[in-house]
Each structure stands twice: as C-alpha cells, then as structure tokens.
Amino acid sequence: MIKNIFIDLDNTIIKDEIEDAEYYRNALEKYGYNPDDCYILCETIDLYEASLTEDNPCYNKRECMEFINKHLNKNYCYELVDSINEMIGLYWTKRVMIPEDIMRKLSEKYNLYVFTNYFGETQLERLKTIGYDKYFKKVFGADEYGLKKFNKSFRKVLDEIKAKPEECLFIGDSLMGDVAIPKKIGMEAILFDYDGSRNDKNLIKDMNVSDYKVMTDFNQIFELIENMW
C-alpha cells in the first residue's frame, strides 16, 4: 500500500528551461561579473552535478564554485552561488506543471515529499514562491542526501522517514534518477514524460528495469494513483 509519494521538482512540479538562466544575470552583475556568462554558468553547474560520484554524492557550495572556476578559468567569489540560489528561489518558478487541485488531493491522502538534485533550501524557496510548500512534509536536497542516481541517497531518505520501499511511489521526468533507481530498491515509479522525449531506454538498458508507468500529464497520473494504490 502506497503511503508516501516523492515528486521531483525540475520538469515535474516546475518546468525548467535554459532560457531561465537569464536570472543568473542579476547574480553576476551583483558581483561585477559579465552578465553574458549566464548560460555557460548554468551549463557548468550541470557539469558539476554530473561529476559527483557515489563516494562523493552530495552538492557542496564551495566544491561547486571551485569546479566552475576551474572549468571556466574564472575567479568567481564563493558568494556567487548563494546569489544564484537566491535568484532561482525567487524567480525560476513561472511554469507550474501540476494543477493545484491535484496537489491538494494528493496531500490529503498521502505523505508528500520532494527529492531533488539541487540544494534543498533553494528548492524549498521555489515551492514557497508558487505556494506549494504547504503540500509537502519535507524537501530532500542533493546537498544533504546526495544525488538521486545513487541507491544510498534513496536509502538515506527512506531511513529518515522510516518507510519501506514498497510503501513509496516516485514521480519524475528522469528515467534514471526518478524511475530506474527507485524501482531497483523496491519503490513504485511513474515517468512523467510530458514532452515525449523522456523514455529513452538506452539510459537504463543494463539495469533490467521495465515495469514502470509512463504518463504525459498529471490528470492521468492522479487517476492511475487513485485506481492502483
């Protein structure tokens, strides 16, 4: 029986587009840097995430800035990442993908959590900005719990909420982090394939994961949850 539902944030609750890197301009200008670096900065943060390993699975602000400076041959101050996170928390929230009535109905029946591959505090601020924080019991961020592509990150989260994997459902747009890893440890999973490009089985071809659900909108997802669990 499903008691707990984990929902990804980027491209699941809030649509994430590269154009939103424009918000980095304010952070760069604040410290006197070239605001036109906003896109390459955004891309480099993604590269930092990709560089994390199972032995070092957690986001770290200082390590992030050191990676950025080395990769871009820059000398950005460490405070820049805080300014970037502030901009993301305040503004990177204009496209909400889950209707609020569905959000409310789910929260009335299940314990809802966000598990995200970014700084937890920043993502919580984004939820507050759109008024959805009240529906979630906690935001689990990669800075404290590790990236979702690692089994032990999920184990750490489940240990904290004292839940068995079979009591949990994960909903997200990442076939690896939101579906394959949850299924591997015994959770149910739904791939939110909102644009028809997320179900690339080549990403998990060696993981023997096949029995996950693929849905394109949250009205379908809500109906499936109501009928199956």
CB neighbourhood size of 96 (10 A)? 14
3-43 confidence digits (pLDDT tens): 999 999 999 999 987 777 888 998 999 999 999 999 999 99
pLDDT in tens, 133-150: 999 999 999 999 999 999
Mean pLDDT, residues 61-85 taken together? 95
pTM of the model: 0.94
pLDDT tops 90 at residue 214: yes
Per-residue pLDDT, 16: 84
**Span of 8-22, 33-47, 58-72, 215-229 with lowest mean pLDDT:** 8-22
Given a cut of 90, whether residue 204 has pLDDT beyond it is no
Distance (Å, rounded) from C-alpha 72 to C-alpha 47? 11
Tell which residue, 93, 95, 86, 88, has the closest CA to residue 21: 88
For the cut 90, the answer to whether the pLDDT of residue 93 exceeds it is no
Is it the case that residue 75 has pLDDT exceeding 90? yes
| Residue 224 predicted with pLDDT over 90 | yes
DSSP letters spanning 51-106: H--SSS-S--HHHHHHHHHHHHT----THHHHHHHHHHHHHS---B-S-HHHHHHH
Length of the chain: 229
pLDDT score of 89: 86
pLDDT at 206: 80
**With bands split at pLDDT 50, 70 and 90, how would you rate the model's confidence at 229?**
confident
pLDDT of 92 reads 72
